[in-house]
Amino acid sequence: MTTETRLRDLLPIALDMTASLTAEDRSRRLVDAVVRALPCDAAVLLRLDGEELVPVAAHGLSTGWTTRRFPLRGHPRLDLICKHEEPTLFPADSPLPDPYDGLIESAPDFHVHACLGCPLRVEGELVGVLTADALQPGAFDRVDTRFLEYLAALAAAAMRTSDLIDALERRAAHQGLVARDLVQEVLERRGGVLLGESDAMQRLRREIDLVAPSDFPVLVTGETGVGKELVVRTIHARSGRAESPLVYVNCAALPESIVESELFGHTKGAFTGADEARPGKFRVADGASLLLDEVGELPLHVQPKLLRALQEGEVQPVGADHPAHVDVRVLAATNRDLEDEVRKGRFRADLLHRLDVYRIHVPPLRERPTDVPMLAGHVADRARRQLGTGPIRIDAAAARELSRRAWPGNVRELENVVTRAVLRAGARVAPGDPVHVGEDDLGEGGEAPRTTGATTSTDAAAISGGNTGVPLRDGVRDYQRARIRQALERAGDNWAAAARALGMDRSNLYHLAKRLGMR
């Protein structure tokens, strides 16, 4: 057999290096190709592990070879192969014991008579050994040394490729577990599931179940504090991308000067301070999902690039000459009225249409007062675990008070009120004793309008502005403006104090005032 003929036997090994195979399959096919190329009865691929060689794949060995390990100190032939730079061919009368004596499947009672070994090196580093053995003496006498060198080079590259792919597969599996754990952790930390049995919450869950398995963009709308991010994370957790990360971007927190770089990346030297290239959130989320929180805050100059990313799946980093293709599912959230933003020229209509393939509106807490007791109980139980108190009971008067409040800060405000109430009530009892939360523990609630009960003439005047024919939505906004102005006057224009008086977080008050045109 000519060298050229044997070289053709190496082609399957080279082709397998580019094939979509597992590390195990690639190693098995490698030793099968060696047996076809060489006149041998057995071939073994071994990986170097410290001072031992560990079989990775074998052809022609009897069962049980997979559990064997070969310390170099106890196997002089293997030790010699590792020490040489070129392939080693042992003479038939070599006094050195052969590690495969009695292991050849076709003749278990015979000793090996012909043995050769190739050290597998990648960039000078020994990664393993390839051996071939034959029962017939002199079987390898006519094998060209150059052919063995080619074989060893390909085998070393194949082993390194298999190791890299195996490492990537393990890393991908690990990242998938990490991603699921991170999503689950956030879900648990923020309530775990969407609590509530009201009609509004049941509709919300049905919509999530409907759209989650698809790859459609979803626009989640609702007031501050209703749980929009929790809805998005629930959609992601039930999607086909659940094993990939959910990449988060708070558009409201991005300075206008870096928002394009943050979303789409930049090349090294693209601008002053760009000392290294940055991929951007879209490329980080390639193959996964991207949450654009507060998407209504995006500046106009960035919106065309976001539109292109949604339409074409292309992003172009700042300073790059060519776009990059990405596969990203965009899940956006906002507390703004984007239709109103479009009318005012602050948001592109075509971008809204692309984001709004499927819209989910998260209802405010005042529209589902029957869910308040369940939510309050859940928050109280979480506070119990955090504070280490005994069992917590919210009495009937406190529960009624919670259900009556309008909760302008929604679930987030409810969480703050209940947690503070548990802290106050827990201070009155010994550690571990039952905690009873009463109405007085809830603090001032009078600054927030009630969802039920009679409306005073002052309230009616504030809501309607003296005109009972105004639309309800406009009347509510007038009322909110009036209450905020009143709170600010009483607090001496201190927004933090006004927020406390209104039973709101300061950030929520800022956002509400901005939405009402007061900032």
Query: What is the average per-residue pLDDT within 312-326?
Result: 86
Question: Which residues does 46 contact at the CB level (< 8 Å), separation at least 6?
Answer: 53, 54, 55, 56, 70, 78, 128, 129, 130, 131
Those residues with Cβ within 8 angstroms of residue 463's Cβ, 6 or more apart along the chain or in another chain: 455, 475, 476, 478, 479
Average confidence (pLDDT) over 334-355: 93
Is residue 236 located within the same domain as residue 384? no
- The confidence score (pLDDT) of residue 303 equals 93
Q: What Rg, from alpha-carbon coordinates, does the chain have?
A: 35
CATH of residue 147's domain is 3.30.450.40
How many structural domains is the chain composed of?
4
Determine the Cα–Cα distance for residues 404 and 261; give it in Å rounded to an integer: 46
Domain-located, residue 101: yes
Q: Tell me the C-alpha distance between 188 and 39, whole Å.
A: 62
Distance CA(204)–CA(201), nearest Å, equals 5
14 lies in the same domain as 135: yes
Alpha-carbon separation of residue 349 from 47, 115, 198, 251, 304 (angstroms): 60, 75, 34, 18, 11
- Indicate if 317 and 225 belong to the same structural domain: yes
Residue 438 lies in a domain: yes
Range of the domain at 474: 456-519
Regarding whether 467 and 449 lie in a shared domain, the answer is no
pLDDT of 180 > 70? The answer is: no
CATH number of residue 220's parent domain: 3.40.50.300
| CB-based contact 43:58 (threshold 8 Å) | yes
Burial of residue 446 (CB within 10 Å: 0-12, 13-18, 19+) is exposed
Residue 185 domain flag: no
pLDDT of residue 358: 95
Whether 172 is covered by a domain: the verdict is no
Q: Which residues pair with 392 in a beta bridge?
A: 435
**Final residue in a domain of this structure, among 126, 152, 167:** 167
Residues 263 and 338 in one domain: yes
Question: Which tokens sit at 326?
Answer: 């990405």
* 463 shares a domain with 443: no
In this predicted structure, what is the pLDDT of residue 193?
63
Does position 174 have pLDDT exceeding 70, yes or no? no
- DSSP state letter for 322: S
Q: How confident is the model at residue 393 (pLDDT cuts 50, 70, 90)?
A: very high
Pair 420, 471 in one domain: no
Whether residue 184 is contained in a domain is answered as: no
> Domain end: 299, 332, 363, which one?
363
Residue 459 Cα to chain centre, angstroms: 48
Give dist(CA 466, CA 502) in Å, integer: 23
Answer whether residue 229 shows pLDDT above 80.
Answer: yes
DSSP at 318? B
Final residue of a domain: which of 317, 340, 363? 363
Between 100 and 439, the higher pLDDT residue: 439
| Confidence (pLDDT) at 462 | 42
Are 330 and 288 in contact by the 8 Å Cβ rule? The answer is no
- Tell me the pTM: 0.55
Q: Where are the beta strands (DSSP E) in 50-113?
A: 52-59, 70-71, 88-90
What residues have CB less than 8 Å from 259, skipping those under 6 apart? Answer: 251, 298, 299, 302
Residue 319 is predicted with a pLDDT of 85
In a domain, 182, yes or no: no
Q: Are 23 and 165 in contact (CB under 8 A)?
A: yes
Alpha carbons 99 and 516: distance in angstroms, whole number: 83
In sequence order, which residues have a C-beta less than 8 Å from that of residue 234 and are 6 or more positions away? 187, 193, 194, 208, 212
- Residue 484 CA: distances (Å) to CA of 147, 491, 512: 86, 10, 9
Q: Which of 351, 240, 249 is nearest to 290 (CA)?
A: 249
Q: Is the pLDDT reported for residue 20 higher than 70?
A: no
176 lies in some domain: no
Q: Are 508 and 499 in contact (CB under 8 A)?
A: yes
What pLDDT digit, counting tens, does each position of 258-312 carry? 888 889 988 887 777 777 888 888 988 888 999 999 999 999 999 999 999 999 9
Task: Please indicate, yes or no, if residue 133 is contained in any of the structural domains.
Answer: yes
Q: How many CB atoms lie within 10 A of CB 499?
A: 24
What confidence tier does 239 reach under pLDDT thresholds 50, 70, 90? very high
Tens-digit pLDDT profile for residues 400-415: 999 999 898 999 899 9
pLDDT tens for each residue of 104-120:
776 666 677 889 988 98
Q: What is the rounded distance in angstroms from the CA atom of residue 61 to the CA atom of residue 64?
A: 8
Mean pLDDT computed over every residue of the chain: 80
- Please give the C-alpha separations between residue 450 and each of 189, 391, 454, in angstroms, as whole numbers: 29, 29, 9
